[in-house]
């Protein structure tokens, strides 16, 4: 499910993206940073990483053995896909905040290139 910004701070929305991943599959850090939290919130395990520039990412449901304060690099394995929470089965929810406000996580992965429409058929 893609990111959908809420109309206001407490409004409905989807404050992240859901990435298809099998239960037990490895999960990698979306960017370099420092583990800020690892634990269970309500019914789901999660890990939170603080990144340079005031970005904070949270991945759930993810089990991890990393302790808060651990330094991680982009792409480094940080845990495994678990179950629980609101993410669909066999998916990881990635939420990103900047200065405490949720933003579209795709912004962490660089700009999206514009689509280029090419001719497809022999139009006559």
**Residues 72-119: pLDDT tens digits?**
999 999 999 999 877 667 899 999 999 988 888 988 777 767 778 778
Percent helix, strand, coil in the chain (nearest 5)?
A: 5, 40, 50
Peptide bond into 31 cis (omega under 30): no
Q: What is the pTM of this model?
A: 0.82
| Fold of the domain spanning 17-108 | Glucose Permease (Domain IIA) (2.70.70)
Choose between 9 and 123: higher pLDDT.
9
Q: Minimal CA–CA distance to 92: which of 62, 72, 64?
A: 62
């Amino acid at each position: 499910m893609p990111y959908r910004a809420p109309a206001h701070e407490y409004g409905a929305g989807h404050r992240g993206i859901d990435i298809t991943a099998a239960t037990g599959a490895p999960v990698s850090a979306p960017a370099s940073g420092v583990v800020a939290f690892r634990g269970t919130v309500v019914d789901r395990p999660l890990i939170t990483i603080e990144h340079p520039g005031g970005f904070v990412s949270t991945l759930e449901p993810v089990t991890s053995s990393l302790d808060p304060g651990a330094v991680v690099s982009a792409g480094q394995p940080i845990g495994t896909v678990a179950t629980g929470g609101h993410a669909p089965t066999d998916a990881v929810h990635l939420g990103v905040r900047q200065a405490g406000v949720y933003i579209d996580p795709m912004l962490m992965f660089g700009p999206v290139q514009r689509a280029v429409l090419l001719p497809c058929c022999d139009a006559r």
